[in-house]
Structure 1
Amino acid sequence: MSRVLQVSCPRASQNVVHERLHAAPHEFSLRGPTPANQTLTFRIGLQNNNFAGLEAALYASSTPGSPQYGQHLTREEVSNFMAPSPDAVSQLHAWLATQNITSTSANRAGDWVRVSMTVGQANALFDTTFSTFTHAETGTHVVRTMSYSIPLSLAGHVNFVYPTVHFPVKALGGPAVKKVDRATSSALKARAGSADNSCLSIFNVTCAMDLYGIPWTAVPQTSNRLVVPGFVGEYANEFNLAIFLNTFRPDMNNQTTWTLETIDGGINDQTLSLAGSEANLDTQWTIGVANGVNVTFFSVGPDNIDSVSGFLDLVEVLTYDSEPLTVLSTSYAFNEANLNPTIAQSMCDAYAALTAQGVSIIFSSGDGGVSGGQTQSCTTFQPTFPSTCPYVTSVGATSGVNPEGAAYFSGGGFSNIFARPSYQNTVVPEFLSTIGNIYSGLYSPSGRAFPDVSAAGDAIEIVWQTEYGLVGGTSASTPIFASIIAMINSELMAAGKPPLGFLNNWIYQNPSAFTDITYGSNPGCNQNGFPAGTGWDPVTGFGSPLYDKLRTAAGL
């Protein structure tokens, strides 16, 4: 799927093609023109007036040693940085008025605008023809066009209009579950001591607490909130959580649960047969590891072929409208190549606006092989988004104990959209010097490299549909690392200090707070792939967390 962006035209009053799609994705077939009276809703992304200022403030507040370290921005300050120029807003409204269309701001900053109109109005406004396409696997109908135009005077103000040429993209996530006999489980091993070889076949909460030195006792802070979202019809189940806590955290109240929030038509379906493996994994492990931390499960509308709208809506709600949070842990990802670069860039900028408020945004790095039922082709050299966004922390996966090695499925690599951020300017060239030209042309060495860190992601035990099972993938390692950050935030807040917020500048200054993973690789296609080695690498990042050293690095 290729796109051409055209924004040049000799007359300012004339419309110009803003985005063009040469062909629909192969899984969609054309049905014909969409009826003129059908209603469509669009999201228009406007250029921020001072994103460079927001990025500078974000880096100043998250870089140890900076005079502004820990001084996170308020929502009002973020809104001021992200707002579009008044000229852009007035020109947009004047253009919409030509078709008697009014708009509403999709967020407090006003850089994303929503408009509803008929297909007939849209055809006239965008100088195009909208058509209906059918998704081959699900039979779902979507309305899209192959190109659209906007006035030249708006070309420098409008980033994108969604959805127009942007066909649905489903987020990857939701590991398969392998059921396990409780008689052979390691769940009953002694709670104290180090993670032993029983953790090789079944890795449970005790293994994680022992391996990473995570404290069992809570340091409750009412304002410390960890958010985990569920997409593509994934629902967390409270009965399964109670069984999980009874088995693995008998020291906790087994009635402990999450706070539910819904957007885009999300629901709280407690039907056991619909209990999602990813949603159960994320809620069980964050609540089970991050004792005393408030966990919120965001159920995002169950669109099973398009997750982009849900991702966009979630970050907007968290940035401007929901109760404050300190950690966002997401175990879903897109193949970067499947996203329009303008959409990816706008979403990444939105993550910067959220993390600037003191939120640690943590994403799984994706599975670069076959893991948990998710198969991706050649993903060693296929970067995943949002891990490639410079303003999030990406988590890879390890396998085994004593020592840990790189999990063969741990996704990692280099972005083709985002440039290498300054915090990687030392470690990435050092890694590249060790591999020479072996994969030259298969990846972009100047791109944002990922993952940043890693954690256990193999044979992770959960309760699913009232039975015990094992899952694997970076979607399992992500909630483990997120829980550790949430626990450290509790200690910081109890000491009267701000939460960590954006993590990467802090992480890259403290590599000794991680166990370096020096063997293994993510083979991907044809057994080729980046190797783990001494120092940072695009398989496990700096390695797995050491709680005591992390809390010391945090000033505790």
Structure 2
Amino acid sequence: MRFISLGLFLASVTTIQGVAVPHTHVLHEKRDAAVLKRWVRREKLDSSAILPMRIGLTQKNLDLGHEFLMDVSHPDSSNYGKHWTSEQVIEAFSPEQKTVDTVTQWLVDFGIDPERITHSDNKGWLAFDATTEEAEGLLHAEYHLYEHTTMGHVAAACDSYHVPKHIQEHVDYITPGIKLLAPEKRGIKKRGFAMTQSKDRHGVGAPLRSNPGKFPVTTPGNLSTCDQSITPDCIRALYQVPLVPEYPGGIPRSDNSMGIYEEGDYYAQEDLDLFFANYTPHIPQGTHPTPAFIDGATAPTDVAHAGGESDLDFELAYPLLYPQTITLYQTDDLFYATNPNSTSTGGFNTFLDALDGSYCTYSAFGETGDDPNLDPVYPDPHGYTGKLQCGVYKPTNVISISYGGQEADVPAYYQKRQCNEFMKLGLQGHSIFYASGDDGVSGPNGDDNDNGCLGPNATIFSPAWPNSCPYVTNVGATKVYPGHTVFEPESAVVDPAGQPYSSAFSSGGGFSNIYHVPDYQRDAVESFFKNHNPPYPHYRGNSSFGKNGGVFNRAGRGYPDVAANGDNIATYNAGNFSSSGGTSASTPIFASIINRINEARLNVNKNPIGFINPALYAHPEILNDITNGTNPGCGTVGFSAAPGWDPVTGLGTPNYPKMLAFFLSLP
């Protein structure tokens, strides 16, 4: 999103597109000419056509959101753990009343009847229907139909629009306006079970990083062959996690279920029961997650159609948590989740809508509510016919998400809006964990370029989304190398194609092209560059993308933040044993451990940890530092694991006793 302020005009009247603009107005938005390469401007919009106008009002305190979050998240803060209520969050960031009144008066003075104007519940935007003639007069713009040259999509838009000088500071953006965005048929990529570039395999449950085999050589209680097959006992030994959590009275809390997100992939109860019977007989047959179905989602499925992602998530989390419970956030109906003809290419908005009703109408960064070009639209004539679900589920204290994509594939405004929501969830005491990706410093093959890298020569590293958001915790992947044991340090995953999975696998990591290094991470990143400087040219900031042959943004937010084992994982899928890998395995492991620690804090009348990154970066000694391995991609060996934080395994893997003692010591 690009804002161009002209300041004071040099002339009393300027002409844009043949539209006379009075000296009282300034240019608020103008489209970058590069966008028009794929669009053709067609006929002028009929003057009587009705346009659904939305004015995104400038939010207050967004620039203070980071400071607010650090105040309740940094262990040195006197307000640590004093999380906000959702009402406090809405009030803190809603527009000033002066903004609402000033913009409303502008509309009324123009001739828009006040009864036509709706103010959203979260106070973030004003809406009204207007004819094209009214919109053009209000904004001193000219509306045309635009057609996408390859996909045929048609949109109503203008090349630029203007607002009064005294209004500009109160308006984020206006739609329909300059935005032209055609959906691409590329779905969310599953970490560890990556999707093809279209949705033809979305949810089918055919994992690319699964290695079918005979019954595992590692049986319950046997730690001698964890280098061949990682079982729940191997994980507990690696991170010193007791078998069963201790609970007052022997009963887990009802307010500390762990959330797991799934989309287009469905677990089978038969697979969970097979896993429990063979590896965790203390977990009763039939144990299953509590459903939190969003916008027509369903689960479970029959064993023949079981998804490798969902089975893996639950088979890793339950052995670490039980008898704590798990809440399944299954998102979107079958049409949007699995249909290759669906044009939904974004991700997580319908999920965030269901957790926070105000998110449905939240305005920021040129986006209000869900994006009709990127997100599912409900009611859906092909599936779920109900309304979009808003604020129907209270978010769990911890949420594990093994899905994601690449920064370059999703508009920056879309990412920033979601990132703000993660900040607000952190303010309310929720911990959000994301898998860091399985392609090292690149994206999946075929994403942007054949090798998944960026730039005209396909040499620039491709950071992941929403991993680069500074308000989520990213989990990279480690493994027990052949011949090593769970009592020795792990290494970063480096699995070339065919050894053993069909596609190469290494822990996703790198530096954002959108977000700067957050203050809680600055010392760790600077230490990495000072002591372990990568042997690659770099650029500083997205404005100098690829300059002087640079292949990564040295000024960007680094990820992952932490790591956990993610290779040779013993799992049952579609009724058969297999060995799987991916950061999608690492994420529920780390998240489950934090959920257990939250239970201990709650039992001594303390609040959940919430946003965990500041505490981890301030006290890396509570983690197991990983110093061996790389994350290849883009024709390089990638970055290298090193003492301290690194963009391969972050700060390291869990050390449960140290983490538990540390977080219990905090207020």
TM-score, with structure 2 as normaliser = 0.71
1:101-500 equivalent positions in 2, closer than 5 A: 103=118, 105=120, 109-111=122-124, 127-131=142-146, 133=148, 147=159, 149=161, 151=163, 155-159=168-172, 164-168=179-183, 170-173=187-190, 175=193, 176-177=207-208, 183-186=214-217, 188-190=219-221, 195-196=223-224, 198-218=225-245, 219=247, 220-231=252-263, 233-268=264-299, 270-301=301-332, 302-303=336-337, 305-308=343-346, 310-320=347-357, 321=391, 322-369=393-440, 377-378=452-453, 381-400=461-480, 402-408=488-494, 409-436=506-533, 438-441=535-538, 442-500=551-609
Q: Residue 62 of structure 2: which of 51, 60, 77 is its match? A: 51
User: In the TM superposition, what whole-angstrom CA distance separates every residue of 1:192-242 from its partner, at most 9, and x where no partner exists?
Assistant: xxx44x2233223222122112222144111113222223x2333333333
User: In the TM superposition, what whole-angstrom CA distance separates every residue of 1:257-316 from its partner, at most 9, and x where no partner exists?
Assistant: 1122233443436244543332332233223322233322222222554343x4233224
How many residues are paired up? 542
Equivalents in 2 of 1:405, 1:86: separation in Å? 54
Q: Please say which structure displays the higher CA radius of gyration.
A: 2
SS of 2:422's equivalent in the other structure is helix
Superposition deviation, residue 178 in structure 1: 5.5
Distance 1:49 1:555, change over 3 A: same
Unaligned segments of structure 1, at least 5 residues: none
Distance 1:33 1:415, change over 3 A: farther
User: Identity over aligned residues, as a percent?
Assistant: 30
The letter for the 1-side match of 2:525 is V
Superposition deviation, residue 134 in structure 1: 8.6
1:38-117 equivalent positions in 2, closer than 5 A: 46-90=57-101, 103=118, 105=120, 109-111=122-124
User: In the TM superposition, what whole-angstrom CA distance separates every residue of 1:77-136 from its partner, at most 9, and x where no partner exists?
Assistant: 11111212224434566788878865563xx64336788899999999884435455987
1:28-43 equivalent positions in 2, closer than 5 A: none
Equivalents in 1 of 2:53, 2:28: separation in Å? 17
Equivalents in 2 of 1:381, 1:372: separation in Å? 8
Distance 1:476 1:43, change over 3 A: farther
User: In the TM superposition, what whole-angstrom CA distance separates every residue of 1:313-338 from its partner, at most 9, and x where no partner exists?
Assistant: 32243245322421121112231123
For 1:521, the equivalent position in structure 2 comes to 630
Distance 1:180 1:339, change over 3 A: closer
The letter for the 1-side match of 2:576 is E
Distance 1:271 1:134, change over 3 A: farther
Equivalents in 2 of 1:365, 1:313: separation in Å? 21
Equivalents in 2 of 1:386, 1:12: separation in Å? 42
Superposition deviation, residue 547 in structure 1: 0.8
Contact 1:517 1:532 in 2 (8 A): yes
Contact 2:55 2:125 in 1 (8 A): yes
Superposition deviation, residue 15 in structure 1: 7.5
SS of 2:527's equivalent in the other structure is helix
SS of 2:330's equivalent in the other structure is strand
Unaligned segments of structure 2, at least 5 residues: 10-21, 194-206, 358-390, 455-459, 482-487, 495-505, 539-550
SS of 1:424's equivalent in the other structure is helix
Q: Which moved further from structure 2: 61-70 or 468-477? A: 468-477
Distance 1:507 1:45, change over 3 A: farther
TM-score, with structure 1 as normaliser = 0.84
Superposition deviation, residue 536 in structure 1: 0.7
SS of 2:664's equivalent in the other structure is coil
Question: What is the alpha-carbon root mean square deviation over aligned residues?
Answer: 3.7
Superposition deviation, residue 65 in structure 1: 2.7
Equivalents in 1 of 2:253, 2:43: separation in Å? 55
Contact 1:242 1:254 in 2 (8 A): yes
The letter for the 1-side match of 2:275 is F
SS of 2:400's equivalent in the other structure is strand
Contact 1:396 1:455 in 2 (8 A): yes
Equivalents in 2 of 1:298, 1:115: separation in Å? 34
Contact 2:507 2:583 in 1 (8 A): yes
Superposition deviation, residue 159 in structure 1: 4.1
Equivalents in 1 of 2:226, 2:130: separation in Å? 57
For 1:536, the equivalent position in structure 2 comes to 645
Contact 1:513 1:545 in 2 (8 A): yes
User: In the TM superposition, what whole-angstrom CA distance separates every residue of 1:425-483 from its partner, at most 9, and x where no partner exists?
Assistant: 21111111134472222222222111110111222233322223333222221111111
Equivalents in 1 of 2:588, 2:54: separation in Å? 31
Equivalents in 1 of 2:643, 2:444: separation in Å? 30
